[in-house]
Amino acid sequence: MDYESLKAELKEIADIAGSVPEPFREKCFEVLLQHLVHASTQPKNDGARAEQDKPVDLGGEATPGGKIPVKAQLRVFMQRTGVTLQQLERLVLVDGNDVHFIHEPAHGTVAKGQMEWALLLALKQAIQGNEFSTDPEDVRSICQEKGFYDKGNFATVFKRPPYGTYFKQPLQPQGPPQTLSNDGQAALAELIKTLTQRPE
């Protein structure tokens, strides 16, 4: 048994359990721990590993570029917020490890657009890397490209209400990536639902 790998996986499920509302944390941890113990006692072979790593289909139709890999953090987010796989498939196109947005913020409010792109980039990172986090310089780049960049107020937007509670710590120019808070995940869920309600 690879104890270092097991320890890392145990920390990951503790982090996931810690991110759900208080009444459900203990049960969430128990379920994830049972899954981990079961997986660690099964004989490993290439076929089993390939099956385990296959993207999970939660009932939605496949996207044109491939199925969205529903990793642990994304699954917990969907269960907590009510976002469906069908909504995600309407919002993003997965092509290998690339994630492209089919629907994007299309209003003229710079501060709102900046925060919405920060949330969408956190979703992209969750699909690609299993963590709802955002790099502030990636936000700056996409906002410059999409017309939502306000050089003088870029950092301020992440500190003032209601956006100041969306990340564990406010995004800082040239600072480290920051993880979405529960408020941020709720805001992301609302954004996903809003963008996917638009007519095709």
Which residues partner with 93 through β-bridges? 100
Could you report the per-residue pLDDT of 76-112, keeping only the tens digit for each? 999 999 999 999 999 999 988 899 999 999 998 999 9
For residue 67, what pLDDT is reported?
86
Cis peptide bond prior to 176, omega within 30° of 0: no
The set of residues, in sequence order, having a beta carbon less than 8 Å from that of 191 and lying 6+ positions away, is 116, 119, 120
**Res 165 pLDDT > 80:** yes
For residue 50, what pLDDT is reported?
42
Which of 5-9, 82-86, 158-162, 166-170 has the least mean pLDDT?
Answer: 5-9
**Res 64 pLDDT > 50:** no
Q: How many residues does the chain have?
A: 200
148: its two tokens: 């939502």
